[in-house]
Amino acid sequence: MAADMGPAATLPLPYVVTRRRRELRGTYTLELEPASGEGGVSPAPGQFNMLYAFGSGEVPISVSGLASDGTALVHTIRDVGPVTKALCGLKVGETVGLRGPFGTSWPVDSIEGNDVVIVAGGLGLAPLRPAIRQVLEHRQNFGRVVLLYGTRTPEDILFRAELQRWRGRFDLDVEVTVDSADSSWSGDVGVVTRLISREQFDPLNTVALVCGPEIMIRFAAQELENKGVATEDIYVSLERNMKCAVGFCGHCQFGSFFVCKDGPVFSYDRIKRLAGISEV
């Protein structure tokens, strides 16, 4: 699903914070509902919205889920600058501007019948979360499903309670690793890409969804290729400095692509050549 040039692309609509939850230090999840009380937008898994903090500015934030009743949009935000700091500081009842949804989505519907390998790094689990939930809601339509998640330390594990629930399922394999740990951690230690080589799946019948830092994406795609997964069956989500969300300003240009409208989700065969060029 690609961005269009309707009102949602140009005018921010008021949304009210209905719930605010601290996930990690400096990372918060906001649930937003239309201030009008009427039905809001319905993003596909992997799409993003532009969130406007009044008096501070606007930033692109991936949709990390829908509320359990399907009425609220969920965004998980890390405080890394003035705008995200303002968004993370919003209280229940306060208002934010929202434009969207924008961009391409994870191809969950079109990959039914395949094994699915999901590789997430750090906050990259947030844009993948709606796709994971959709796969699990229609679990009977997929083969083996594997989630590989890596982060810096045990304290940086996102959506910890949900990961524990997923781990308790018999139809989903979840592996979590950290870059560094103390004696209280009994799980894997090392980068998430190391987990790929030891997983067993049919590469000719596997689709991979990958999100995280760009260097992680590149090495994860390389490991998946080494296992025999075709580049056109590897989907990655890129994060770039998006400003307009409709391909006009050029801030998110990636070679001949604009991440805001040609992405953020790409099949890896489209961008593999660019991924290895540090200047792009």
- Among the ranges given (1-10, 166-175, 210-219), the one the predictor scored with the smallest mean pLDDT: 1-10
| Alpha-carbon distances of 201 from 145, 157, 186, 207, 209, rounded to whole Å | 9, 25, 25, 10, 14
Q: For residues 163 and 64, what is the distance between their CA atoms, to the nearest angstrom?
A: 14
The pLDDT of residue 206:
97
Express each pLDDT in 42-78 by its tens digit: 899 999 999 999 999 999 999 999 765 566 899 999 9
Express each pLDDT in 234-243 by its tens digit: 999 998 777 8
Using DSSP, how many helices (H) and how many strands (E) does the chain show?
8, 15
Cβ neighbours, 10 Å, residue 194: 15
Strands 115-121 and 95-102: unpaired
* Superfamily holding 7-102: Translation factors (2.40.30.10)
Express each pLDDT in 185-202 by its tens digit: 998 999 999 999 999 889
Say yes or no: do domains 7-102 and 109-275 share a fold.
Answer: no
Domain parsing of the chain, residue ranges: 7-102, 109-275
From the candidate CATH numbers 3.30.1550.10, 3.40.50.80, 3.40.30.10, 3.40.720.10, the one assigned to the domain spanning 109-275? 3.40.50.80
